[in-house]
């Protein structure tokens, strides 16, 4: 092989491995944009960032890419009065950020240590369950304390159900099973219309049995009878 061809081959191989390492993949570009737009000012990812918005460490598990796309186009269009700004992202940037968010499947906490295993939650399954509820993001669909009010498309009533009174309708075992198995397809308001973009994830894919039991203990401890007010924020 002559030197020119060798040089060309090396350059080609270099470009290839840079791609394979992901320096210029949509996910890496999305990660960089996520930093550049300072999303971390409000959002925690993998244990680092702000708390003005939900922890996004599990966001790619709980939300489909279709939803994330819709959300980032215009958060207020999905949920009026939400405090997350519209960033008016260019389509290419938005798609990269969605690709990055889709990789956030909670694995960091599962691998490196779960925030709800911190000493302050030890021995108190209700408190621990509340921390799981918030960290894995039940709160992003069911609201603070399970009070509901979060919009969904093409479902009866237009909202994700409130779960602050499940102790009236579920036994402990039924509740644990519901959380573990999720509900992939809610009944559509208009059978001919599109699938609802938000659905109840199958949490047994991410949480251990005893963690699901702790979340159930938390839900069973809630008592909002008489509370009519719905959560404005997550
Ligand atoms: C000023 C604070 C703030 C900033 C900055 C911000 N967000 Fe948010 N974000 C929020 C809040 C608050 C919510 C929850 C809204 C609700 O559901 O009530 C949210 C919700 C979300 C959600 C969906 C809910 C879920 O399941 O967690 C995603 C995805 C998201 N933000 C991504 C981003 C990205 C990407 C950026 C940067 C381009 C960003 N956010 C910047 C405050 C912020
Ligand atoms: C992406 C949104 C989303 C997330 C995140 C989510 N849920 Fe749900 N959940 C739903 C939807 C939608 C339903 C309604 C399902 C149906 O149509 O029956 C539901 C239903 C439920 C129900 C049954 C309520 C009833 O009235 O029958 C319980 C209990 C529940 N969720 C608990 C949880 C817990 C606990 C978590 C976190 C570990 C969680 N959910 C996370 C969307 C979500």
Does 143 sit in the ligand 1 pocket, CB within 6 Å? no
Looking at the domain 118-221, which fold is it?
Answer: Cytochrome Bc1 Complex; Chain D, domain 2 (1.10.760)
> What does the pLDDT read at residue 55?
98
The residue ranges of every structural domain in the chain are 25-102, 118-221
Q: Helices (H) and strands (E) in the chain — how many of each? A: 11, 2
Phi, psi values for residue 181, rounded to 5°: -90, -25
Give 204: exposed, middle or buried? Use CB within 10 Å, 0-12, 13-18, 19+: middle
> What does the pLDDT read at residue 117?
97
Helix/strand/coil percent split, the chain, to 5: 55, 5, 45
Phi, psi values for residue 177, rounded to 5°: -65, -40
pLDDT tens across 14-38, in order? 454 444 455 689 999 999 999 999 9
Q: Do domains 25-102 and 118-221 have the same CATH topology?
A: yes
DSSP letter assigned to residue 47: T
Q: Using pLDDT thresholds of 50, 70 and 90, give the confidence band for residue 223.
A: confident
Ligand 2: atom nearest CA of 186 is: 17
Using CB distances shorter than 6 Å, the residues near ligand 2 are 62-63, 133, 136-138, 140-142, 152, 160-161, 163, 166, 175, 178-179, 183, 186, 198-201, 203, 215
Does 31 sit in the ligand 1 pocket, CB within 6 Å? no
pLDDT tens across 179-191, in order? 999 999 999 999 9
Mean pLDDT of 206-216: 98
Q: Using pLDDT thresholds of 50, 70 and 90, give the confidence band for residue 228.
A: low
User: What CATH superfamily classification does 25-102 receive?
Assistant: Cytochrome c-like domain (1.10.760.10)
């Amino acid at each position: 092989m002559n030197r020119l061809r060798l040089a060309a081959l090396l350059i080609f191989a270099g470009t290839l491995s840079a791609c394979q390492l992901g320096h210029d993949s949509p996910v890496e570009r999305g990660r960089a944009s996520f930093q550049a737009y300072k999303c971390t000012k409000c959002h925690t990812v993998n244990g680092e960032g702000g708390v003005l918005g939900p922890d996004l460490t599990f966001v790619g598990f709980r939300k489909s890419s279709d939803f994330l796309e819709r959300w980032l186009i215009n958060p207020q269009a999905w949920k009026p009065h939400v405090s997350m700004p519209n960033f008016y992202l260019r389509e290419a940037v938005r798609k990269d950020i969605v690709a990055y968010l889709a990789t956030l499947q909670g694995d960091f906490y599962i691998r490196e240590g779960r925030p709800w295993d911190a000493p302050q939650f030890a021995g108190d399954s209700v408190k621990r369950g509340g921390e799981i509820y918030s960290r894995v993001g039940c709160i992003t669909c069911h609201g603070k304390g399970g009070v509901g009010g979060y919009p969904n498309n093409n479902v009866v009533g237009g909202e994700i159900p409130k779960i602050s009174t499940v102790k009236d309708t579920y036994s402990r075992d039924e509740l644990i099973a519901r959380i573990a198995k999720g509900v992939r397809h809610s009944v559509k308001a208009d059978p001919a219309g599109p699938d609802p973009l938000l659905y109840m994830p199958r949490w047994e894919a991410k949480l251990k049995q005893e963690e699901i039991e702790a979340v159930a203990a938390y839900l069973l401890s809630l008592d909002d009878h008489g509370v009519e007010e719905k959560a404005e924020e997550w």
